[in-house]
Structures are given as structure tokens and as C-alpha cells.
Amino acid sequence: MSSSHLFLDTDRHRRLLDRLFFTGDNLPIVAGSNKAYKDFWAFYERYKRFKCRSGGSDVSLPVSSDGAAVSGDIGGQYDAAKKLNFRIKNRRLGDYIRHRRDSPLKSTDATDEQLYYFEFVLHLYLDFMQKQKLSKILQLRRSREALPVFKHKAEIIAALQQHQSVLVAGDTGCGKSTQVPQYLLEAGYQLIAVTQPRRLACIALAARVSYETLNEYGSLIGHQVRFDKARSSSTRVVFLTEGLLLRQMQADPQLKQYNVIVLDEVHERHLHTDFLLGLLKCLLRVRSDVKLVLMSATINLHLFASFLGGDVPVVRVPGRLHPIQLEYWPVRDSELTGKSEALDPGPYVRVLRHIDSRYPPEERGDLLIFVAGMRDIVAVSEAAKAYDEGRRWLVLPLHGSLSAEEQDRVFHMAPEGMRKCIVSTNIAETSVTIDGVRFVADSGRVKELSWDASSRMQRLQQFWISKASAEQRKGRAGRTGPGVAFRLYSEQDLAAMQEYSTPELLRVPLDSLLLQLIAMGLPDVRRFPFVESPDTSRLEESLTSLASHGAVNAADETLTPLGALLARLPVDIVLGKMLVTAAAIGVADAALTMAALLAVQSPLTNRAHSDREAADARSSLESDEGGAFTLLNLYDAWLAEKLAGRDSRRWCRRRGIEEQRLYEAAKLRRQFGRLLQDCGLVDRDDWDEAGREDSKKEGATTDHRSDGARLSEDRNQRRRLAALKRESRTGRQRRRVLRLDALELGDDDKGDGNDSGDIGSDIRDLEFRLSHDLDRLAERRRLTGREAGLVKAVLLAGLHPQLAVPDSANSSRSGEMVFHTAAHRLVLLHPYDPLTTGGWRPDQGQLVAYLGILETTKPYLVHPLPVPGLPALLLFATRIHGNASGTRLLCDGWLELRPSSADVAESALAAAVALRSRLGNRLSRLLRRLDNRDEELQQQQQQDHKDPSDRVEQRLLANKLSEFLHAQLPHEVRMASSATIAAAAAASASASSSVETVTNWLSLGILTDDSADCEESSLNTDNLEDSHASYLERLWLCRVCQQEFVLNLAGRLAHQTDCRRSASDDAAQHDKDLEDELLQQKQQKQSEQQQRKSVCPRCRCRFGGSTAEILRHRRDCHGSAVSDDAEPGTALVVQGHLDTGS
């Protein structure tokens, strides 16, 4: 007999079935919106088709005496015929059937027999899920037990129970990164933190451990990285980056939220790694209950054991998961190239040819090639494509400047009969595991950044890798199967390599690190327990640099208020100073965007410069003010695309822009803004682009829709975001096959042959829309000339003293322009910099500020910014020594500034003295708000910041600064001669009476008026004192006190400074008058905004009123209509009706 009569029409009865079986806590395993729920309906339809074709019924349903099916027919014991291992009691179904028997059944209703049969099929599905889960558990258990680290599980746990710290040295691929956290969890340890050097590794490992613990949709395993968090109060194991753990340690030095801390990949010795190790060593002395596990494949056991203590147990995990065959293929002498020459790709083509001849295409296996840098990747990739012509090899580059979509391609599978040839930098050495790699070709070379303190410059140089890195690279071939490693160097070369790579601590500037140490309360940073201590000279150099930035007091090396704020900002000191200055003069909005864009990796991909079409599409965004303003234009144009509802992803791709980095900059911008707001330096209105939910809490939303409509849209978007994240997690576990027609890197339409990039882009777009008020973003406008000048001054405040002066022969050069810095006498603009591509040439007296110097093939300025020399030096120079008339000024000991006349010099110096005093006083008042010891100041912080006088002071300072920046003050700037520098030093040390100190940064009378550069004419001696004084003294009227004096330039500047202080009452009254005027304008503007036209949704009347009046009308309105075409006076009548409350 056919069983078709037992099945329900799911479309017709879906609502009833959902209510009976899938609502509330009825069946949490198959909830109403999860994947299991959707899979069940597909299972039900397939089962229905199968039974209808085969005929017959699985089970005879027992009936009662009246012929009705009986609840509980599945039975309480195992029945081989039903093949069910368990039963779930559904009381809702029984109650429904009992209550409806009193009413006559309709022919269209589901019968009792059909409902009970549906329950039976649901139990079949649940049983199937259970068996599938059991099979998955057994398979996972077998795969976990097959890992080499499993044999050492008991040893690791026993060592940790008996000691406070343990070293785990396991070969690449032994499984320590995924298994050790699980062993700790199984042993009863709770609150486990596992650090990784990179965000990608944190997310991937958390997903894998969640999968292995059958906790994919739970919260037992979590991750937390910058701008991405997946953890809750029930999380027991969290994977996080080293930098984030450092931030947590600043807030809680004892890390009370963790009981076990696991540091993975410690062999990489990043700056954060060594910093963490020193802090954790101190923590172990304070907290006896905390456990520390250090893990690495190539760890220096002796170094780390001696660092933590001689009795630290070491657990060695020998043996790889898969064997690796090692072959040495030294490069021929004819193929060796110099450092400045491109790599000869011949040896790598031979490897391809060898694999083709020895291993048939049916034996799958990809090739991973390690080279030093970008230029080598291009050379090898082009040669590999020319050799194969796309028949057997898919050549894919892998490096940090590629977009996320282009990087993801290396993880997908090659089509049948083809192999991938991945040409990579050392990013693939430890950061990622690429499934399917069977062959590795190692060049033995790497490019690393090193810091040259003498020239204040970073060098990207090529070195031989260490033996530890060679082992890491070899291990890439044996991660997912037996492999072969080709070393393109000899065994003698390997023997000459150093054992371990040079730690980052010993090759980068230490300013930020020492600032964090001082902020955490360390009395003497020289005594910090580094794993390997840097040279004392480097520590002293960094402390001096911090003092020059005003972050620490030079006398006792304690933190200043500015340093306390800079330590809280997760950004470089230069960018931190820029943000503080921007808050002081009221340009925080643009400065926050610019700082965030400079802090993240450049959004311009490699294709942005190599593809002519991308460069042309982006040309309208390039600014003649340099790369920083170009990035700002790019960000604003991207926002405009999103606000217009256009495809911002395609817009970015056509211009060679990585959109993900713009999203990161947007998140970082909000983080910076909130920190400045928490410190009381800015108001929310100064910068915020908060999402609708945040704006609603503050009452600042500009969205005029009803609350219900706004909340409904938010809920829908959040549901879609959650669904996309689930889909992304599921898709991340499935490897896709690359499409041959979608591998051209410049293809705007085809993508990469999968939809993962679309899902990721949709997720980021929804997150952006939920965290930003799009209406407020629409009100943004491009910078005016005045605002751009102020932003440039803000940039300069952070970048100083990093200035470069153009070479005098640049005007006659047709090619590269040459610049000079204080420590380096020859630097260039990068060929891809907007200043170079735009044909910029420096004007008379112009300087270039820069973010840094990076030497690759040549030393290049990083993010150069053209600035006027006179305002830049007079406003921000640390010290200025000049002649008595101010027409020769030696700035910062190496730049000579020459105003065109004595009058220009006097007016410029007077303005600079006043501006620096105003700016310094304002910064001091702002930073005093950070002093948490002053409770009274804390209570009045917000009120003081909203005081109109504070706004007035800010506007006055900005106006004066803008006037000075745009003033026409003819001048010249050049490098000072060695004779001039020596003369100034000698005069300063001689304590001559002719030297007059105007301020702590300005001294006059040190140089003579003679322009000759010989020491005799530059050095000011005592016998010239009278001639200088008589030549420069003149009758002068002070505009502040209206009195006449006979003074030289130094005396006039000093009097102006003192006179302003003594006339503070008059200045205060002037400011108060201006304050009243500005306050009156502000109140008038607010009144106009409040009296906006409104329409009542009930009575349809139009009226003008404040927010309170509108709400009062909504409360009292009973729908008495006022026509839409009413006279203008009707609005006033309605408003009067509101005022009287009638």
C-alpha cells in the first residue's frame, strides 16, 4: 500500500508544523532559522519522494479503540524496524490533538495519523544527524590521535601541573597549535588565552578548534582581534593577537581574566612577542596561580629556558605528520645576480620542468616558491607563465600588498590536471597553511626591515635566512601529505647561516615600546627583563626621542600628560601628536580620517600603479599636497559611492584600491575618536559618524523616520549580517576550484571565480552601515583651503622634526629631485608618490615634511608633505638661534631660514611667539583633563569642554594660525654651512652678553648680519656688542599697552610676551565680547533648526516647533485634521495650541 497519504503538504501546513515542532524550546537542535532546520525540509521532501516511489510504509502506527492514532507510537525501546535510537517527547503535539477533537475536523486539516507520521520522519532525521555527528566525532578522534603531539599529551599536562611554565618544541605540522589548547581544556583548565602573531591565524585556529570540539555554533571557543570579536562570558579558550593581549595587560596588569596563557610561534620574535615575554615573566612572580606555555617549531630552547629559569621543563615533539624529501639545487654562478639586479628565474623554471617530467599530472600537488621580495615575485611569475603558457600550471603571486581576494586564490584548488605555482614572500612561512602544497622551492633569501639610528632611516634589505627559517619553509611541504623541498643553495650555504633570525627588538626603533613600559609604571626601562637586551645606546636614543616629542620628562623620565594620552592611542607617536593638536584647533574630523588612513596598510594595491587604467581612473583623486591628502580624497570619494548606493567594491577594484583597508580605516577612525572623546579633548559633534543605535542613545540622530521603522530596519540588517557570517564560516571550510577565465588580476567583472569575496564585502558593508549614521555622513563636505592649511599644520606638528630641504640644483634636473635631511644627505621622492606623478616642483622657501625614510633600492621619503618653510620652522622648531635683526635664523641646528627683510622677520617672529604661546597654553589645559588625580577637575571636565569660551579660544587660535600660514612672507631656506653651525654652537656656549633669550626656544644675537659662511664673520664676539645694539635699537610703539620704548628686536619680542600677560584682563574682555557674539549666533542657529517644519502623522497639520513641542503634540493629538493646503498662519495656530496645552 502506498504511503503517500501519510505525508503533509509542507507549503500548506508549514505554519502549523512550525508551531507544533519548531517553536520556542520545543526542539532547539532544529531551531527555526538555523541550517539544520533548512536541511530537515530538504530531507523531508527527498524522503517523501522515495517512499512514494517505493510504496509501503516504514511502520504501522498503533490506533486507539476509536481509530485515532496514539501519541507515543514511536515506542520507548529500540525497534529494529523503526531504526531509531532515541525518542523526544513532544507535549505540544499531544495537547493540540486532544484539544481539537472536540471540534469537527475539516477535510483540509492535517489528520492525527499525518502529524504522528511527520513526527516519526523528524525523529528519523534527528537520528540521522546523531549518527552523522557520531561518525564525525570518531573521524575527528582518529585524525587527532594520528597527530604526533597526541603521544605527548600526558607529558604536557603533567609538566604544567608541576611547573608554572612549560616549553613545547614541536616540529612544523605536529598539531601543537590546535591540540594543546584542547588538551588544557580537557585537563580542567579554564580561561585560556592563546596568542598568535597575526589576525588571520587567530580566526582560522579558533574556527578549527571549534570544529574539532563540535562547538561550531557555540561560544566555548572564541577569538578576539582588532575590530573583530567572537567571545562571550561562557568562552573558555580565546585566540587573540599579541598586541591585543598587551592592551589588555595595560588595563589589567595582572590579567585576572586568564588562568593559562599560551604564546604560540614565539620563534618569530616580533616586538610584541619580546615585550609580552618580559611582562609575563614579571606576572609569574606576582601570580602563582597563572600558567605559561611557550610553543614553537624552531625555538631557541637554551635561550628561553635560561630566560624563564633553569628548571623549566621542555617537551619535545619530534617527527612530522608526513615525510619530506630534501634536495639541494645550488644556483649556478652564471645565474647569480647583484643586490640591485632582478632575480634570475632560471633555477625556478628548472624546478617546474623537473616536477613535470617526474610526477604525472594525476598525482596532485602544488608548488610553493619562496623568494625575497616583490620584484623577485614578478620575475619568477613571468618566467613560469612563459614556460608553461597556462597548460599545466596556474601561477599565483602571494605578498602583503595584494588585495584580500587575490590572496584568497592561493587557498582554492586548481582544476583537474593542473597544479598551482605559488610565488610568495616569507608571508607563507608561518602565517598560513596552504592545503595541497607538495613541493617547496626555497631561495634562501628574505627581505627584512632594519633601523639605522644614525640616519633615522629604515632599510629594507635582503639577507640570508636563518636555519630555523629554512626548517620552517621545508615544513610547508609536509603539512597535508608527503612532500619534496628543493633548496636552491648548497649545504655549505646552510651551514653558514645563523641559527635563528634576528629579533625585531634589535632592528626597529623602540620609542613606542618604551612609552608603553613607562605608562605601565616601570620606574627604569633599562632594567626591564628583555629576552635579549638591546644596546644601551639604542635605549638612550629612544628616551631622548620621547623627550623631544614631549611624551616624557627629560629630567626624571616620567610620563607627561601628553605621553599618557599617546600611550593610550594604538598608533605611532607621530600620528598621536597630530590627533592631539587637531583637537586643540578644531580640525579633529579630517585629522582622524587622515591618521587612520596612515595607520593602516596602504589601500593602494600593487595593481594601482602597474595598471594604467587603474591609475587613470584614480588621477582625479590625487592631490598636489602629497599622499596624505590623496588618501583623504580617496576616502571621501569612497564614502560618496556608498552613500549614493552604488557598488563601492567595483569602484575600488577599478582603481586598484583594496576596500577592506578602507573599512579598517573607518573602524580605526571611530576608535581614535572615542579615545579622544573619553579624554575630554573633543565633543561627539566634532568627529562622530555614529550608527543609528548609538546616535539614538545620545539623541543626536538625524534620521527623521519613526522609531519603529528605524528599529525594524536595524533588526533586519542585523539578522542578515548574522546569516552572512554563518554562511561565511561555512564557506570558509569548503575549498573552491579556481576558474581559468577569472585569473587575470585586473578583471573587474569576473572576480576570482567564487562568491567568498562578495559575502565578505557584504558583511563589511553591513557592519559599516550599522556603525555609521549615513545621514550625518551625507553632510560631510570637502575641506576648504583654510581647513586644508590647518590640517597641514596639524600634520606638521606630528611630523616635526622630520623635515627635508630641496637640493639647490633641483631646478636644473629633469628627472628625480634630490632632498636632504638632518641625518641623511640624499633622499628622493618615490616614483609612485602623487607628488612625483603629478609633476610637483618645490616653490621658493618650501620644505617637505615626511613620515619616515625607507631605503629599498634607494632612500625614499614616506608620505612627503610640502610645507612653507618659514611658518613650519617658526611654529615647530625645537630651538632657533638668530642674529640680532632676525634675518638669519638657524633652526634645529641645521636649517638656515632667511626672511627677506628685517620687517618680515620681526612680524613673523612676533606672530610665531604669540601663536606658540597660545597653542602651548591650550594644549596644556586640554591635557590637564587627563590628570585623574584631580577629582574636582574630573567632575567639571565635560562641562568645561562644552563651555562656549572654550570654543571661542579654539576658533581664535585656528583663525590666527590660518592667517599666519597663508601670510605672504618672502623667505629662503637652505642647509646651514658647517661654519655657521659651529659658530652658533660656540656663541651659545660662550655666555656672551649680546645673546638675548626671548623664549625657551628663541635666542637672538648669536649670529651676525654678515651672510658670509666663514667662522670669523659668523661668530659673534664681545667687541661687536655695541655696534649690534646701536644698529638695531629704535623707537617702538607697543600696540598692547600703547607705550613707546627704545628696544632692539629681542627686547620688542620679550616686551610683547610680557605685555600680553599683563594685559590679560583686556584680552579676556575682548574674547568675552567675541564669545557673546558667537554664542548669540549659535543660539540663533539652534532656534532656526528647532523651528523646523513638521507634519503630524495623525492630523496631517504642518507646524514649526522644538523637539519637546513636537512630542507634546503627538501625545495630545487626537487626529483633528488640518488640511495640507492650509494657510501659512495655520502652523502658528497649531504651535499656539501646543504652547497652551489645550
DSSP code at position 1001:
S
pLDDT of amino acid 375: 87
Contact 173, 478 (CB under 8 A): yes
Which residues, 6+ apart, have CB-to-CB distance to 761 below 8 Å?
Answer: 649, 659
Cα–chain-centroid distance for residue 731? 25
pLDDT of amino acid 1123: 40
% of residues, the chain, pLDDT over 70: 75
User: What pTM value is reported for the model?
Assistant: 0.77
pLDDT of amino acid 64: 41
Q: What residue ranges of the chain are covered by domains with CATH 3.40.50.300? A: 147-317, 324-506
Domain 324-506, CATH number (from 3.40.50.300, 1.10.10.60, 3.40.630.30, 3.30.720.200): 3.40.50.300
d(CA 275, CA 529): 9
Q: Is beta strand 803-806 parallel, antiparallel or unpaired with respect to 818-820?
A: antiparallel
Amino acid, res. 433: T
Contact 200, 241 (CB under 8 A): no
Which residues, 6+ apart, have CB-to-CB distance to 610 below 8 Å?
Answer: none
712: helix, coil or strand? Answer: helix
Contact 451, 507 (CB under 8 A): yes
Nearest of 805, 804, 797, 820 to residue 877 by alpha carbon: 797
Q: Is beta strand 971-975 parallel, antiparallel or unpaired with respect to 827-829?
A: unpaired
pLDDT of amino acid 865: 94
pLDDT of amino acid 407: 78
- Measured torsion, CA atoms of residues 713, 714, 719, 723, in degrees rounded to the nearest 10: 100
d(CA 287, CA 291): 9
Quick one: cell of 216?
561550531
Question: Which residues is 1046 bridged to in the sheet?
Answer: 1035
Q: How many Cβ atoms from other residues are within 10 Å of residue 767's Cβ?
A: 20
Q: Where are the beta strands (DSSP E) in 474-606?
A: 483-487
pLDDT of amino acid 6: 79
| Secondary-structure breakdown of the chain: helix, strand, coil percentages, each rounded to the nearest 5 | 50, 15, 35
d(CA 314, CA 1039): 78
DSSP code at position 479:
S
The sign of the dihedral angle between the CA atoms of 681, 770, 767, 229 is positive
Rg (alpha carbons) of the chain, rounded to whole number: 36
d(CA 427, CA 66): 74
d(CA 680, CA 147): 54
pLDDT of amino acid 753: 40
Residue with cell 622677520: 905
Q: Is beta strand 419-424 parallel, antiparallel or unpaired with respect to 366-370?
A: parallel
Q: Where are the beta strands (DSSP E) in 613-769?
A: none
Which residues, 6+ apart, have CB-to-CB distance to 413 below 8 Å?
Answer: 436, 735, 736, 737, 738
Residues with pLDDT less than 50, the chain? 1, 62-76, 78, 105-107, 691-693, 695-702, 744-757, 932-935, 937-938, 1011-1031, 1065-1067, 1092-1093, 1120-1142
838: helix, coil or strand? Answer: coil
Residue with cell 607627561: 560
What b/e sequence results for 969-998 when a residue is b if at least 16 CB atoms lie within 10 Å of its CB, and e otherwise? Answer: bebebbbbeebbbebbebbeeeebebbbeb
CATH of domain 147-317: 3.40.50.300
Nearest of 1141, 686, 655 to residue 950 by alpha carbon: 686
pLDDT of amino acid 699: 47
Nearest of 1117, 1121, 1084 to residue 1100 by alpha carbon: 1121
Amino acid, res. 621: L
Q: Is beta strand 827-829 parallel, antiparallel or unpaired with respect to 818-820?
A: antiparallel
Nearest of 447, 353, 365 to residue 400 by alpha carbon: 447
d(CA 718, CA 242): 30
- H or E element, residue 852: strand 852-855
Amino acid, res. 803: L
Q: How many Cβ atoms from other residues are within 10 Å of residue 553's Cβ?
A: 13
**Cis upstream peptide for 801 (omega within 30°):** yes
pLDDT of amino acid 1083: 60
Residue with cell 584600491: 657
- H or E element, residue 1132: helix 1129-1140
Amino acid, res. 867: V
1046: helix, coil or strand? Answer: strand
591: helix, coil or strand? Answer: helix
Residue with cell 578549527: 208
pLDDT of amino acid 82: 53
Contact 823, 456 (CB under 8 A): yes
CA max distance for the chain: 131
